[in-house]
Amino acid sequence: MAESPKKLVKRILEVIDDKIGEDTSVIDLESVSTIADYFVLTNGESLRQTKVLADEIIEQLEEDGIFLRNKEGYQTGKWILLDYGDIVVHIFEKETREFYDLEKIWQDAKIISVTEGKPDTPL
């Protein structure tokens, strides 16, 4: 099932919200990069939770007929990257997220913070 990138981002946000991801944000890269249309960033309270978040996103999207292209960092759980083509999900341990600070690196892009699974600013 092919979904628009915006719908897929919203679906990913629902899954993250269900598994209590923290400090979730979306970086809209459409106008600044060809890497992806969106980055979805979240962090877990522990390494175990980062893996649970990754597992749940993969499982729920597979049930929707959307399959992962690539996964990196799962073994350590400090920074897990899930590549869905137009959307790349970054699941961090809090300290790792603060160290790499992707929001600062991509400051030219539109950054949308998310509260309770719903973007504060519409996608």
- pLDDT tens, 67-100? 999 999 999 999 999 999 999 999 999 999 999 9
The class that CATH gives domain 5-115 is alpha beta
Q: What pLDDT band is residue 1 in, cutting at 50, 70 and 90? A: very low
pLDDT > 70 fraction of the chain, expressed in percent and rounded: 91
Q: Look at residue 86 and give its three-state secondary structure.
A: coil
- pLDDT, tens only, 47-62: 999 999 999 999 999 9
Cβ atoms 51, 74 nearer than 8 A: yes
Q: What is the pLDDT of residue 15?
A: 94
Distance CA 53, CA 12 (A): 10
Any idea where the domains of the chain sit in the sequence? 5-115
Amino acid making up residue 68: L
DSSP summary character for residue 47: H
Bridge partners for 1 per DSSP: none
Residue 60 Cα distances to 40, 50, 97, 99, angstroms: 16, 15, 24, 29
